[in-house]
Structure 1
């Protein structure tokens, strides 16, 4: 029997109950919506009396023995009943009017609806940087709608938020998040992009990433970087296995090459030995580090004027610096 619920909002939570309440307050109660919060063994757990202010919230504990946002998202998927699923991080917010925007797509035939995200700093309210790459890709697709821009929509956008996904599509293809310390969403998004036949990009914005110190993307431990390196290798190997060579090379040049440099820079900050071991590991695994285009003068100039200033930002994503 088809579910009477239109939407399941899945939220992993760890040690930020006040921010969780802020997020929940941006999700209007509606009989067709369930909000699933999965706590990841927090020391600062949500207070039951505070959660009671949000009657549309269903609360679960992660008792699997495996920590991480990926595990919590998978638990949320096991309990979800909505025809559509949208993911959110506990320290972010939905923007005013988000429900009326997504509700327009509840009868859509597409499997995935992408929305252009934004980001802001919690302390100052200033515009952040976390949304820039994804927003740029989606806006480029809306403008050009060619094969290359579609490849980037399918294989560049890793973040789980700001996209509406049919739950039966998730279940049909057995899509689940990696239960790892970091980058749990990369392979979920990559397989989602590979399997989806029908998708739509909306120019509207429903979600804001809130930047703050102490969140996972700002952590710089060796364990976090190692998890990102492992996932990056699997990502590259998936593209090599399932995409035509020309498409794979384009995605490598657009995304994997840049991410390889960012991870190598993060490894360098840990130490020379770790940097060299990561370098040789990438080579053995076939991960692109150097492209033949680097020897052309036009590409060298392009990298000097555009890419190199962004490498500091890319490495900051992995190291928190």
Structure 2
């Protein structure tokens, strides 16, 4: 391998974000950056990026797979990797100061190393709550060796993978318009034999207007629903001991895009014991009403998703 770290970045109409990301990556001979443009409708000119970042080792490619989406773009990036370790970044996020110096000191041939991320609201510039779930998973793993981190850290960023682990297990992202990373994260977590976790953040995930995370169009929600069905099937097929989806959340999240047959299928999953009626957290809140009040208060103080609509 010619590089220590390879960073795969899918890009779509986010040149300013991409510049911010690249500025957060130190100039080092052992860092490879692979930018895969997902057929941006805004003009994408790699030569201008090379002029702005002449000392970075950047490889440019285009998603010519015929299937649009970050998943297809990430898969192209995986094929171009020439590094010992692999990181995935979104073009509108950035790395924390000192991230790669930290990696130099802690990486020790694990299959996956998880880091608590931080987050930022690009609407206001304030801190965001988007990282809370992943930070809690890291804390729980360190405190209790709770392996839920392997099955619920459903994003590819704020992790470092051994490139050989990805290649040996033929890990690829789903070629779908939304939730392309969910099965990649689940399957890689199941297959990982050696993992580690650290609370020091290396990655800042942002939340801005018009991003996919706040896109609730029917085709996007249908994609998320189908991926969730695949996830439920995989967990049950491989008898993974982890918290499963609930009927309540399936109906709440996807009822507008589910057919009558799909509603019936969800009921069958419940009776087969493959999903639960209510989220596991519900029973915790019934026993701890103060925690529920605190959560509602925190949610009320956070920025509404409507603020992020394009």
Give me the TM-score of the superposition, normalised by structure 2: 0.87
- Return the offset for 1:140: 1.7
Match of residue 84 from structure 1: 85
In structure 1, what is the equivalent of residue 267 of structure 2?
283
- Alpha-carbon distance in structure 2 between the residues aligned to 1:172 and 1:226: 31
Say if 2:249 and 2:278, in contact at 8 Å, map to a contact too: no
Cα 1:281–1:316, aligned 2, differ >3 Å: closer, same or farther? farther
Asked whether the equivalents of residues 175 and 192 of structure 1 are also in contact (C-alpha less than 8 Å), the reply is yes
Correspondences of 1:1-321 after superposition (within 5 Å): 3-52=1-50, 53-54=52-53, 55-106=56-107, 108-145=108-145, 149-150=146-147, 152-243=148-239, 247-248=241-242, 251-252=243-244, 256-257=245-246, 261-268=248-255, 270=256, 274=258, 278-285=262-269, 288-291=275-278, 300=286, 302=288, 306=292, 309=296
Deviation, 1:219, is 0.5
User: How far, CA to CA, are the matches of 2:96 and 2:81 in structure 1?
Assistant: 23
* Gap change, CA 1:305 and 1:33, over 3 Å in 2: closer
Report Cα offsets for 1:20-74 as digits up to 9, x if no partner. 1111111112111110000000011433343112232111011110100000000
Q: Distance in 2 between matches of 1:57 and 1:262?
A: 42
**Distance in 2 separating the partners of 1:94 and 1:241:** 36
User: Across the two proteins, how many residue pairs are aligned to each other?
Assistant: 299
Which residues of structure 1 form unaligned runs of 5+?
none
1:123, distance to aligned residue in structure 2 (A): 2.7
CA contact (8 A) 1:220 1:320 kept: no
CA RMSD of the aligned region, Å? 3.0
TM superposition shift of 1:129? 1.6
Q: Shift of the alpha carbon at 1:302?
A: 4.6
Question: How far apart, CA to CA, are the structure 2 residues paired with 1:292 and 1:7?
Answer: 38
- 1:156-206 deviations in whole A, cap 9, x for unaligned? 110100000001001111110000011111111111111111110012101
In structure 1, distance between residues paired with 2:134 and 2:204: 12
Q: Is the 8 A contact 1:17 1:44 kept in 2?
A: no
CA contact (8 A) 1:264 1:275 kept: no
d(CA) in 2 for partners of 1:295 and 1:211?
Answer: 27
SS in 1 for 2:60: strand
* Separation in structure 1 between the aligned mates of residue 25 and residue 38 of structure 2, nearest angstrom: 21
Unaligned runs of 5+ in 2: none
Q: Closer, same or farther in 2 for the Cα pair 1:84/1:262, shift >3 Å?
A: same
